[in-house]
Structure 1
Amino acid sequence: MAGEMTILGSAILTLLLAGYLAQQYLPMPTPKVIGIDLGTTYCSVGVFHAGTGEVKVILDDDGHQSIPSIVSFTEDDIHVGYEGLELADSNPQNTIYDAKRFIGKIFTPEELKRECERYQFKVLYREGGAVYAIKTNETFAVTPEYIGSQLLLKLKKMAENYLDIPVSKAVISVPAEFDERQRNYTVRAANLAGLDILRVINEPTAAAMAYGLHKADVFNVLVVDLGGGTLDVSLLNKQGGMFLTRAMAGNNKLGGQDFNQRLLQYLYENIYATYGSLPSLKEEIHRLRQSVEAVKLNLTVHPSSWVRMPLTLPKQREEVQEERTHRESHFDQENRQEGSSGSQKVYFEAEISRKLFENLNEDLFQKILVPIERVLEEGHLEKDKVDEIVLVGGSTRIPRIRQVIRDYFSKEPNTSVDPDLAVVIGVAIQAGIMGGSWPLPVSAIEIPNRHLRKTNFN
């Protein structure tokens, strides 16, 4: 008996030693399953590397970790991501974004009409759903899942370029409130892109996994996901490796785009007060919007930032002509030209402080607390019983937003993971699990809650 135990012990030791040596000296197997975050505003793709246990968020050709969820149609091509974004102002009627809001969703004609009032592209009602009307050298319609498929195809190609192998299997995330139809249509979009979806995981669960909460000793987890266009708040219960979504609330018309719009409006008022007219060239309006986005990002780490750019404006009013000199201190007077149409070349600059940006948006920042309070109320939980507050989405980088949440809970939110990448990191971990990668992390199991509905505040 003792001899058998000795042999068994030696065999186990040999296996462990072989595994260690393999991990140290053999080449790591190439990941076969990718993780995809198909976001409303941005989307990204990642993989879990066996052996090291690290997640790699894959870059596009220009080094971006995420690409805009935008698809633009021209006569000769389909432009995806940043290429589509560049066409947003010059080709607005054929540039589609926010497709995730429509995918698999049932509308009445009246509901669809209200939803589409804020878009420059044309949305048509078809058999209870939405399609987009595209007019280039021909007129045709495309579905939201087709738009999704073009984004997923771009992410798939990025992954294939990085891994240097064909990719056909993926795990994908969806909002926790997506019903079965919306999930199925998301899977259909992936199938159109040549991807077999092994698992659909809720975005809050993916974010919790990115923060390592599937392995941590926590019970009540609040996920605040504030992106470019939407706010989603979820209350999760975790026991072992199982997650249950207890309550959801949000605002599908609140996000970084709204903060940008407040600052853009302020700049328009500043330009008009100084020059008596507003920019009308699409290229300059596009650059001004880009400057606003850059200022917002700079203000997350700096107390102030500048907008500086040349503008072509209609001829100014006489009463403001004398007031502009101090605004053009860095602009050569001889470079200001007046065209045949009465336009003028000016150099606009404005310093934006973090305090000014916060004042412009303070009422919007306070709105973040509304769905948080509703989630706690519906989850029958006092705010001091929340074990972990997880921030997801690029807009949660804004210092004032973090302060609002910190003051409400009298507790620091968890900011240890890049909020832009939390979902894709979690999805990539789950993809690694589905692909059998080692070392195997603890898998998160979601407990379906069929009766749960998201409360939206607009």
Structure 2
Amino acid sequence: MSGEMSLFGSVLLALLLAGYLGQQYLPPPTPKVIGLDLGTTFCSVGVFHPGGGEVEVIADEQGRRSIPSAVAFTAAAVLAGHDAVDRADASPQNTVYDAKRFIGKLFEPEALERDSARYPFKVINNNGSAEFLISTNRTFAVSPEFVGSRLLLQMKKMAERRLGVAIQRAVISVPAEFDERQRNYTVRAANLAGLEILRVINEPTAAAMAYGLHKVDVFNVLVVDLGGGTLDVSLLNKQGGMFLTRAMAGNNKLGGQDFSQRLLQFTMERVRQEFGVAPTLKEDVHRLRQAVEAAKLNLTLQPSATIEVPLHLRAAEGPESPAPAPVLFRATIGRELFEELNEDLFQKILAPVETVLAEGHLAREDVDEIVLVGGSTRIPRIRRLIAEFFGKEPNTSVDPDLAVVTGVAIQAGIMGGSWPLQVSAIEIPNRHLRKTNFS
């Protein structure tokens, strides 16, 4: 008997030694499960690398780690991401964005008409579901899940190019307020892109995982997600590794695009004052919009930013109008001016924060961690506003643009059995929860 035990111990020791040597000297296996963040404004894809345990957010061939959530249709092709945005000014009626707002959602006719009025593309009602009407060399309708599938297919290809293997399985994130139908239609979009979804995870939970909160002793977590077009505030209650969403609120019409628009309006007025003509040409407006967006990003890091754009100002549109001589518009924008232009919009962020605390029956000091998600939370004034409200600094240790995709990639690694094994975050369904929306 003792000989058998000794033999068993030797075999076990040999296996452990082989495992250790394999981890040290053999290349780790290639990840086969990807994490997908199908955002309203931008999308990202990430993988959890076995062995080292790092998350990589995969970049495209130009090194960009996210793609715009836009899909453009031409007579010859369907373009996704940056290629679609490049077509937007030339063919706005055939370039669809914000499809996530419509996916799996049932609308009353009046509500759909109201929600779609601000888009340049045509939204139609198909038995309560939204579809987008496209006119190229023919006219046809596409569904929100088809639009989503083109974005997911683009990210699938990015992952396959980076990893060198075919990808068929994924974990995907959705907003916490998505109902069962919206979740199923998001999964359907992934299926259309040739992906099997192993798990659907709520975006606030994914963000909390990115910050490592599923492995530490915290109880009440507030997630402020401010992206390009929407604000979502979620209050998570965590016990052990289990997350329960206690309250949600937000504003579906508030985000970075609104802050950029304020700055664009100000800049266009400066052009009118300086040259006597406001920009009207599509090319001029497009250049100004790009310059304003770049200035907004620079102002998160610098106290001022310079906008310098060549313009072809035209006093009157028409075939007889002479081609105007180009002028150079140049302006320096200070951070204080940017904050002043947007202060009323920034203040709107606090209303849903107060609501989730009230619905969750919590005082400000009861919140253990404040997690920031979304690129617009980089804006210093917004971070100051949240810090002043709670009397403590929010957690900014993770890139807010990539927090959700990082958490989803960690979950993808868990589902793929990657080593070193992580603690999985378990979500407790809260089917009676409703999101309070401000606008």
CA distance in 2: counterparts of 1:191 and 1:45, whole angstroms: 16
State which of 369, 390, 408 in structure 1 corresponds to 2:350.
Answer: 369
1:123–1:399 Cα change, 3 Å: same
5 Å matches for 1:32-431? 32-315=32-315, 341=322, 343-431=324-412
| 1:11 positional shift | 4.3
C-alpha RMSD of the superposition: 1.4
Q: How far off its partner does 1:13 sit?
A: 3.4
Q: Deviations over 1:195-216 (max 9, x none)?
A: 0000000000000000000001
Q: Give, in whole Å, the separation in 2 of the partners of 1:10 and 1:386.
A: 51
1:436 aligns with 2:417: yes
**Contact map agreement 2:37 2:405 (CA 8 A) in 1:** yes
Give distance in 2, aligned partners of 1:342 and 1:70.
32
Distance 1:292 1:7 in 2: 72
Deviation (angstroms), 1:314 = 2.3
User: C-alpha displacement at 1:16, in angstroms?
Assistant: 2.6
TM-score scaled by structure 2?
0.97
Work out the CA distance in 1 between the residues paired with 2:321 and 2:90.
23
CA contact (8 A) 2:72 2:84 kept: yes
- Does structure 2 retain, via aligned residues, the 8 Å contact 1:314–1:344? no
Give the SS at the match of 1:343: coil
Q: Say whether the 8 Å CA contact 1:215–1:241 is kept in structure 2.
A: yes
User: How many angstroms does 1:9 deviate by?
Assistant: 4.7
Contact 1:73 1:136 survives alignment (8 Å): yes
One-letter code aligned to 2:43: C
Is structure 2 residue 432 aligned with structure 1 residue 451? yes
Deviation at residue 134 of structure 1 after TM alignment? 0.3
Q: Which SS does the other structure have where 1:145 is aligned?
A: helix
* Identical pairs, percent: 71
Q: 1:113 to 1:287 in 2, by over 3 A?
A: same
Deviations 1:287-329 (A, max 9, x none): 111111100000010000011011111249xxxxxxxxxxxxx
Q: Aligned equivalents of 1:74 and 1:161: distance in 2?
A: 25
Unaligned runs of 5+ in 2: none
| Structure 1: runs of 5 or more not aligned | 317-338
Instruction: Kindly provide the CA deviation profile for residues 323-356 of structure 1, in whole angstroms up to 9, marking residues without a partner as x.
Output: xxxxxxxxxxxxxxxx953734211111000000
Task: Determine the C-alpha separation between the residues in 1 that align with 2:416 and 2:323.
Answer: 65
Q: 1-side partners of 2:281 and 2:315: how far apart?
A: 14
TM-score (norm 1): 0.93
